[in-house]
Chain A
Amino acid sequence: MSMLSALAHLEAMESWQAIPLTEFRHRHLSARPLVIIPLTMAGEAGAPLAAMVGSARRQRTLLVVDQPRNRDQRFAFAAALGQIVMDYINSFRQDRRGDGDRSRYTDAPQILVPNPGGIKALADLGRMCRFRQTTGPYAVAEVVPEFGMWLTFLVDAAEEAGTSMLLPITGMLAEHWATGQSTLENQNLASLMAWIDPPSGVSVEQALADAENPDVCPPAGPTTSPQFDNRDLAPAIRRFDTANRLGDPQALADAESDLRDLVAEQVQPTWRMLWNAVALMRTVPEAPRAARRFERDCVSFTNYSDYQDSGPLPQRKRDAAVGAARRLGRQERALADYEADMAFDDPFVLADRRSVGEAFAGTVVEAEPGRVVTTDKNRRVPRPRIVVRTEDPLRLAPDTALISPSPTVPANHRARIVATVPDGAATLVTVEITSGMGRARVPTPGTVPEGGDRIAYLPDPGWRPTPVFPDADSMPWTHTAPPDQPDPDNAESDDAAEEWGHD
């Protein structure tokens, strides 16, 4: 956390109201997101209890597993949810633009869950579904493994910074607003909303107290509150089991509808709150560069979607060496790009980086616009230098490549730090401009800052080559998956045969 964000949190705490941290919303927000609120059963490993799902506030479906410990019911649930999600995903596989390798869908799906726990619940569900067989013993519905693979793809995408295909709404809110509570409490959607948008006529303090009271604000999942489990849910499930055992259709129908009502009562407040949060996020203007990041989402959506059409294999349980290195590379790249993009777009984020010396801004006090150097190839190129006087606590080393979000220079302006000299409380930074000056030997007018100009710089995340790895057959044994690793297709036969849960 930077000094500036810290300050915003302090102010929020003092004034009992949320303080905006950014000017823009840096995440793309789909016109038609699919909201999923997954609930799981306490204590069980990824046993789904229910999910409320829908792509509009008034268009929701509630799926409930009457006996979460029953394997068949779990997969019936997975199939029903899978069908809804797949219909949603397939609705984005219509409009395609471009030719050959560059062809891609023009829109991508976006799934919103209440909190990071929701992503974990979907990850577990994906892992549970993707290895299932649709034929043979313990067969599941056709859609289940496909759904599992898509969920895994979305969860992997969510780990990359700046993507928008699967997002926890709490993360989106906390990126934009500072509250007077900790990161841990910010993961509670109700508490976060209490700070940002308390119900009218209710103080933040009161709204916070309500948010933590499970009887007023049931938890947003994935686990339900223990009080609800013990007081309401356990007896309801017992009634269902009894009715099921006795084979009494009327009692069974009653028990089922009771359970549905109970669970609906638990998720509805979160459903409403989540859509309020979505509406709130829509009022924040989208950052200019979010569109470019969304293009990348569309590309990866298209690629995975094409892969799904070509007889896909489920994702590995654990990455092998090369896969892990690739994943890490992708994530680092995405994070660096995202941070630079945000600072480039957003004066608040830029100020944030400046407050800890990761970026700087100041006035040009000296300029040498006509400076020309001879390169190794004996070409004479313009390399103007300017000296910027800044009061920021600069921590960038000489030779750092820079980009500038200032409107006075072109967007492809590139520079590097030559030297930094302290000047009283301020710092004088000598900067050499390396590109973005046009093609001529003399810089195009207006591309080099002049004395007296205000300019800001931040580190260039740069370009990184795609890493190259050896082929599978020339991989040293230290980096291959162990040979006794069972084939992912058969690995689960053991689990499939397992009777899950017990009563």
Chain B
Amino acid sequence: MNAPVDDRLAALRGSARRLPYSARSLAALENNPRCTLRALLDSSGSDKAAIAERAGFPSPFGQSTFALARGNAFEAMVKANGCAELLRVLRETLQLTLPEVGYTDLNDVGGDARPEIRAARTAHLLVRAALGQGDSTLYDHPMLRLIVGGHAVFLEPDLVAFRIGDRFHVVEIKSFPIIDGQAAPAQVRSATTQACAYVIALRAMLAQAGIGPQAVSDQIILVAPKDFTNRPTAAFVDARKQVATLTRQLDRIARIGDLVALLSDGLTFDLDPDSDDRPRRPAEELTSALDQVDTTYRPDCLNHCEMAFYCRSRARANMSLDVLGPAVREQLGGIDTTTMALGLARGQLVPADDQREMTTALRHAARLRAELGGAA
């Protein structure tokens, strides 16, 4: 059944190159799994940033060169000299006993850096290690495959799979600081989500060789700068819950066919680029195509999804309560739009059965406001 679905997804993407899942789209998967538009764009590998820009909502994401430079420099420092700094941290901070250490770089296979080849070599070496036949402890740049929506996606983690005892640990190197043992929760969360994808991919790879999931630990090792220095420190992060969440979400994508089936024929997000990669498709036509697909906007999307500004403007046009965020939304369970909530509060609309209680509360609140001299 995959083939027609793939064709439909390819048609959605149109002439553009297929984009692989990135750390950001994986994070979006966990943050807003219910959004149909995001699911379609991500599974079809469409370029969300380009689409948003053409639709008139250029995405504000961009990385500062400073952040980029700092991230790269930190990672290079931690991995220099066969991961000398990393080992120091594992030994001193996490108090792990590492008798002998072998380091294997999987960056290319005899000069061949094609993903398929590297994935095969990674699989070969890691399976051997899992069976107790390898001599390495650290594996740098492994190439992993994750099945997302029926497609093999290559994940090239900037990380090391670290084997101690009988288990692999995923090591995630990040450049945000851990100050006095605490780091910004949002950043830890997004780092963990990425690492979870690697845990799942690693488990899937080992499963093919008949090795159980316990061979890969749920505990992720986060390596980040200590306080305000450049020296790394490390911490274990328990990712059990996020691994479970992401696994569930990935299973769900397998049913992307159900979503595709609901779309009208001929729907595409193709930008029709010219030879210089400039989009030629009229913005109105693109917007009307986007408008055909459901979105689940949440203010939180502004932090991670390229389409968020488009979705927000759509939610505003529909007077959706989503614009106001979960605090208001949860207070008004069962009501979707501002128009309806205010209509009920003012007695202009008749509540449905399940809205009765909410309507009483709304009208009471409206009365209180009227007493205060505010209009309601």
Contact = CB atoms under 8 A, between A and B. Distances in A.
B95 interface: no
Given A9-B328, A45-B177, A318-B181, A4 B369 contact: yes
A208 to B, nearest CB: 10
B18 to A, nearest CB: 26
Given A43-B64, A226-B62, A355-B368, A13 B324 contact: yes
A43 B62 contact: no
Interface in B188-231: 225, 227-231
Given A19-B374, A44-B70, A498-B230, A6 B65 contact: no
Interface string B320-362: 0101110110011000001101100100000000000000111
Contacts of A227: 62
- Between B61, B66, B319, B328, the greatest number of chain A beta carbons within 10 A of the residue's beta carbon is seen for B66
Interface in B281-323: 299-300, 302-303, 309, 316, 319, 321, 323
Dominant secondary structure of chain B at its interface with chain A: helix
A259 to B, nearest CB: 14
- Between B227, B231, B341, B362, the greatest number of chain A beta carbons within 10 A of the residue's beta carbon is seen for B227
B102 to A, nearest CB: 29
Contact of B225 (A45, A128, A183): A45
B66 A43 contact: yes
A500 B364 contact: no
B248 to A, nearest CB: 26
Contacts of B328: 1, 6, 9-10
Contact of A43 (B69, B227, B316, B362): B69
B324 A182 contact: yes
Nearest to B339: A14
B372 A318 contact: no
Contacts of B300: 184
Interface in A86-114: none
Interface in A390-442: 391-393
A348 B229 contact: no
A43 B70 contact: yes
B101 interface: no
A7 B323 contact: no
A46 B323 CA distance: 32
A61 B245 CA distance: 50
B150 interface: no
Interface string A1-44: 11110111111011000011000000000000000000001111
A312 interface: no
Interface in B213-261: 225, 227-231
A226 B64 contact: yes
Contact of A10 (B228, B338, B368): B338
A300 interface: no
Contact of B365 (A4, A229, A502): A4
A354 interface: yes
Contact of A7 (B67, B229, B231, B366): B366
A346 to B, nearest CB: 10
Interface residues of B, number: 58
Interface in B107-130: none
Interface string A469-503: 00000000000000000000000001100111110
Given A1-B331, A45-B176, A7 B66 contact: no
A177 B369 CA distance: 14
A7 B299 contact: no
A46 B176 CA distance: 10
A127 interface: yes
B376 A318 contact: no
A45 B176 CA distance: 7
Nearest to A502: B73
Given A45-B177, A183-B327, A214 B60 contact: yes
B65 A230 contact: yes
A347 interface: yes
A181 interface: yes
B323 A391 contact: no
B23 to A, nearest CB: 16
A340 to B, nearest CB: 19
B145 to A, nearest CB: 31
Interface in A202-244: 212, 214, 223-227, 229-230, 233-234
B137 interface: no
B179 A7 contact: no
A72 to B, nearest CB: 14
A162 interface: no
Contacts of A224: 64
Interface string B46-64: 0000000000000011111
A355 B361 contact: yes
A61 to B, nearest CB: 24
B361 A14 contact: no
B180 A354 contact: no
Given A181-B323, A234-B65, A354-B368, A127 B299 contact: no
A42 B230 contact: no
Contacts of A392: 364
A124 interface: yes
A11 B342 contact: yes
Contacts of B376: 7, 11
Contact of A184 (B229, B231, B325): B325
B302 A4 contact: no
Interface in B258-285: none
B43 interface: no
29 contacts: A6-B332, A7-B342, A8-B374, A9-B324, A13-B319, A13-B323, A13-B324, A14-B319, A14-B338, A42-B67, A43-B71, A43-B175, A44-B66, A45-B228, A124-B179, A182-B299, A182-B324, A183-B327, A224-B64, A225-B60, A234-B65, A318-B181, A347-B372, A348-B372, A351-B371, A391-B364, A498-B229, A502-B73, A502-B230
Interface of B: 60-71, 73, 175-177, 179-181, 225, 227-231, 299-300, 302-303, 309, 316, 319, 321, 323-325, 327-328, 331-332, 338-339, 341-342, 345, 360-362, 364-366, 368-369, 371-372, 374-376
Given A181-B323, A233-B66, 18 more contacts: A3-B331, A6-B365, A7-B342, A11-B375, A13-B338, A43-B67, A43-B70, A47-B228, A127-B180, A181-B324, A183-B299, A184-B299, A184-B302, A185-B299, A234-B65, A318-B181, A495-B228, A502-B73
